[in-house]
Structure 1
Amino acid sequence: MTLATITRVGGPTTVVEFGGWRLLTDPTFDPPGRRYGFGWGTSSRKLTGPAIPVAGLGAVDVVLLTHDHHGDNLDDAGRALLADVGTVVTTTSGARRLGRGARGLRAWETTRLSHPGRPDIEITATPCRHGPPLSTVLVGEVIGFALRWEGQRNGAFWCTGDTVLHRGVLAVADRVRVGTVLLHLGGVRFPITGPIRYSMTARQALRLVDAVRPHVAIPVHYEGWQHFRESPESVERAFADRPEVRWLPLGHPTTVTV
């Protein structure tokens, strides 16, 4: 049996630990209150701070950064800590912007991480579309991450990244056996663009879960920001009868079988 410990920090940020590795997803550690611009007239205010401050985070081996250009996925404090992280894996455009040897992947490209005494990790980028069709040129590149390592019993560990439900993300069901999934939700909308969605609603995420059939599904990135259009309560109601869903308390490590 292989176990992983997952700690939800807030927003998209989690700490994932297994086999001697400590991974961090989408680091966001700024305090609440500030408004962040996302481009093309869109913006959002951060409403809650991280459950764990940077000072209490500890050493991090790898950052999995779905995209670097939105403040709710990489803020100032999160960007500062990248200098102390051995490996950053992100989009190809993000890797160019970040420099410092960041590894850039396009959808379905793979990289491998190795360290003495730990299992190798194979990381495959999965497709994301952070808005309506043909919006990538405006909203920028985003990827998810499917992680495989020796000893997994239930399948890959998958972080969807910020995405709407579309053909590319549904293709994961055909190409990856998923054991545990971090579902980025929120049903993001902005007043300036009306009804257009920029991330999955809970109902859409349920369709994805039905397609992928993971052993464990963990909702993240649905609280703490003004631009989320589904309340935490409505997300929880939508998933209430789903046995595969695990609700992780903020700031408290939770062990799952992978």
Structure 2
Amino acid sequence: MSTAPVPGTAPSSVRVTHIGGPTTLLEFAGWRLLTDPTFDPAGRRYAFGWGTSSRKLAGPAIPAGEIGPIDAVLLTHDHHGDNLDEAGRALLPSAGTVITTVPGAARLGAGARGLSPWQSTTLEAPGRPSIEVTATPCRHGPPLSHPIVGDVVGFALRWDGQRHGVLWISGDTVLYGGVRHVAERLTVGLTLLHLGGVRFPVTGPLRYTMTARDAVDLLGTVRPHTAVPVHYEGWQHFQQPRATIEREFADAPPDVRDRIRWLPLGTPTDLET
């Protein structure tokens, strides 16, 4: 399957293609943005440090060679293989811009832009709306886990013509005060929620990303127009697959449940923001 640019997409509409794991292609108003590139085939085991590891169970719905030109990569963090693998890393030099964490930008070099939480940068190109990209807070594990898990950010994207609010990518995070601040500071139209309830045997019950119950809680606070689950399939350490998440969502209040939109892998879907 090849993915051609969509120059005519209206500024209030975004064509979202969920490629697998956290990886999505975002197309609107002539822009083509890619989140957390993971394009390795299934089968390999990846080490995440401190005795943690995981096997990739599914390859991408679209191979890296069929993605087409990319204007920018929004990389929540560069140091975990389920957010940037070898094939994804090989794609970075062909992208116009890479935006990530401050330590990640230093590691990647090549002009990558590093943002701390609530810092912003702007993507600009002739004939297209400028995009303000703001990093949002993440904590990729329990309290005091930062020395182990490292820096992670989410991203809020703002451009002229959005109808309901910013496009927010949560990033790999548990539910904590920093994430709740998004509701206080931003009006969210479309959100990509990193779920999966990540756990590792070596750390027992500790979670490293949001569970479905966390998502229900957060959505009740942030109240986006549309919420798209990502980062829930394709890896051994994702402990809550879609079926588990859907059971939790089924018991959510209607004003939360009705905001959730599942996307078929590899299929472009037009959504409002």
Instruction: Specify which of 121, 124, 132 is matched with residue 122 of structure 1.
Output: 132
Counterpart Cα distance in 1 of 2:18 and 2:102: 26
Q: Which shifted more, 150-159 or 134-143?
A: 134-143
Partner residue, 2:78: 68
The 5 Å alignment of 1:27-46 reads 27-46=37-56
Counterpart Cα distance in 1 of 2:207 and 2:249: 20
The 5 Å alignment of 1:49-68 reads 49-68=59-78
Instruction: Specify which of 211, 224, 238 is matched with residue 228 of structure 1.
Output: 238
Counterpart Cα distance in 2 of 1:216 and 1:231: 20
Instruction: Specify which of 130, 138, 144 is matched with residue 148 of structure 2.
Output: 138
Counterpart Cα distance in 2 of 1:166 and 1:238: 19
- 2:253 is aligned with 1:243: no
What is the SS of the residue equivalent to 2:210?
Answer: coil
What is the SS of the residue equivalent to 1:171?
Answer: helix
One-letter amino acid of the structure 1 residue matched with residue 126 of structure 2: P
Shift of 1:137: 1.4
What is the SS of the residue equivalent to 1:183?
Answer: strand
Shift of 1:237: 2.0
Partner residue, 2:199: 189
What is the SS of the residue equivalent to 1:238?
Answer: helix
- 2:223 is aligned with 1:208: no
Q: How many residues align?
A: 258
Counterpart Cα distance in 2 of 1:231 and 1:217: 17
What is the SS of the residue equivalent to 1:134?
Answer: coil
One-letter amino acid of the structure 1 residue matched with residue 100 of structure 2: T
One-letter amino acid of the structure 2 residue matched with residue 176 of structure 1: L
Give the gaps of 5 or more residues in structure 2.
Answer: 1-9
Partner residue, 1:84: 94
Identity among equivalent positions (%) equals 66
Counterpart Cα distance in 2 of 1:52 and 1:231: 20
Counterpart Cα distance in 1 of 2:122 and 2:266: 29
Shift of 1:30: 0.1
One-letter amino acid of the structure 1 residue matched with residue 98 of structure 2: V
Partner residue, 1:178: 188
TM-score, normalising length: structure 2:
0.93
What is the SS of the residue equivalent to 2:53?
Answer: strand
Counterpart Cα distance in 2 of 1:23 and 1:253: 13
Instruction: Specify which of 249, 254, 257 is matched with residue 269 of structure 2.
Output: 254
TM-score, normalising length: structure 1:
0.99
Shift of 1:239: 2.2
What is the SS of the residue equivalent to 2:190?
Answer: strand
What is the SS of the residue equivalent to 1:154?
Answer: coil
Shift of 1:231: 2.3
Partner residue, 1:168: 178
Shift of 1:138: 1.1
One-letter amino acid of the structure 1 residue matched with residue 108 of structure 2: L
What is the SS of the residue equivalent to 1:174?
Answer: helix
Partner residue, 1:11: 21
One-letter amino acid of the structure 2 residue matched with residue 89 of structure 1: I
What is the SS of the residue equivalent to 1:78?
Answer: helix
Shift of 1:111: 0.5
Counterpart Cα distance in 2 of 1:236 and 1:50: 22
Counterpart Cα distance in 2 of 1:195 and 1:239: 22
**Deviations 1:118-175 (CA, angstroms, capped at 9, x unpaired):** 0000000000000011111111000000000000010000000000000000000000
What is the SS of the residue equivalent to 1:172?
Answer: helix
**Deviations 1:58-116 (CA, angstroms, capped at 9, x unpaired):** 11000000000000000000000001011000000000000000000000001011100
What is the SS of the residue equivalent to 1:204?
Answer: helix
